[in-house]
Amino acid sequence: MFGYLRPLQGELKVRELERFKACYCGLCRSIGRKYGFIARFALSYELVFLAMLLWKADDEPVIERKRCAASPIRRKRYCTGNAALDTCAGYNVILTWWKLKDTVADETFFKAIPYRLLSLALAAAYKKASREFPGFDSAAKRELGVLAEYESMKQISLDGAADKFALILSAATPFDAPESTRRPMREMLYHLGRWIYIIDACDDYKDDVSAKRYNPVALRFPPERGIIPEAGKDRINTTLTHSNNLVCSAFELLPENTWTQVVRNTIYLGMPDVCMHVINGTWP
């Protein structure tokens, strides 16, 4: 699911890169411990980033080494479970569940069969996560429902479609944080959500056009030879850069924690790099 919020690894210090990998593995283990082995396959970089963002300022990560199914021979470093990882484990399951539901609704009956089976496999994990985080689950269900209606009407507005997903991510703002933290966090998550939705639409552009699926970027900028026209690329780059700048501005108002440098690398270097590759069609 997604995978666009990642640091530019070549610009991280060795210690920072090792700690980032440990956070990634730590979230994977938290998902498995709380929601079962199958749920671990839905791990995304976006929720690793969110875990680093939600990490308490006075909470230093505890890193251990263990073997796992992905690395049965060599022991890998991972952050032991804490509040941020456990919260994002639940959010990851909830977002994956509703993403699967959305895909089932978009695809034809036979193409949707694998996603229906995945939904069944994830059902118990989703029920548990939705009980633990009812507010986030309600936001995801509500906004994706509105987005589905928006898509069914073939709305051209890129901002209108992106707003619905942005509201889901902004719902991850911790309710128990002081207002001085909540406000910039909410703004940062909103514009991250907007950026993710648009970059994902750009990434899916060619496939959606071929399959005749709803894609707000394709409706706003009809394809030329099956790809985004150059004028459209310039407009999209402008709006994505604007969202990226607002993310950076809000981030600088937040208190620092142990992951600040990795988060800063991701939003100042990683996001522009991903944007460039997706728009140019060179994203792997």
Highest mean pLDDT among 43-57, 99-113, 136-150: 43-57
pLDDT over 90 (residue 79): yes
List of residues 6+ apart from 141 with CB closer than 8 A: 98
Residue 157 above 80 pLDDT?
A: yes
Q: What percent of the chain has pLDDT over 70?
A: 100
**What are the tens digits of pLDDT across the range 87-133?**
999 999 999 999 898 888 877 878 889 989 999 999 999 999 999 99
Task: Match 């099956």 to its residue by tokens.
Answer: 226
Pair of tokens at residue 149: 């209606």
The model's confidence at residue 1, banded by pLDDT at 50, 70 and 90, is low
**Minimum mean pLDDT among 31-35, 66-70, 132-136, 201-205: which range?**
66-70
* The predicted structure's pLDDT at residue 19: 95
For all residues of the chain together, what is the average pLDDT? Answer: 92
Band (171; pLDDT cuts 50, 70, 90): very high
Mean pLDDT of 143-166: 86
Domain with residues 9-280, CATH architecture: Orthogonal Bundle (1.10)
Give tens-digit pLDDT for 8-45: 999 999 999 999 999 999 999 999 999 999 999 889 99
Question: Domain segments of the chain: what residues?
Answer: 9-280
User: Cα(25)–Cα(31) distance, rounded to whole angstroms?
Assistant: 10
Residue 50 has pLDDT above 90, yes or no: yes
Residue type, 113: I
Q: Write out the chain in H/E/C secondary structure.
A: CCCCCCCCHHHCCHHHHHHHHHHHHHHHHHHHHHHCCHHHHHCCHHHHHHHHHHCCCCCCCCEEEEEECCEEEEEEEEECCCHHHHHHHHHHHHHHHHHHHHHHHHCCHHHHHHHHHHHHHHHHHHHHHHHHCHHHHHHHHHHHHHHHHHHHCCCCCHHHHHHHHHHHHHCCCCCCCCHHHHHHHHHHHHHHHHHHHHHHHHHCHHHHHHHCCCCHHHHHCCCECCECCHHHHHHHHHHHHHHHHHHHHHHCCCCCCCCHHHHHHHHHHHHHHHHHHHHHCCCC
pTM (predicted TM-score): 0.93
90 Cβ contact partners less than 8 Å away, ≥ 6 residues apart: 34, 35, 129, 132, 133, 136
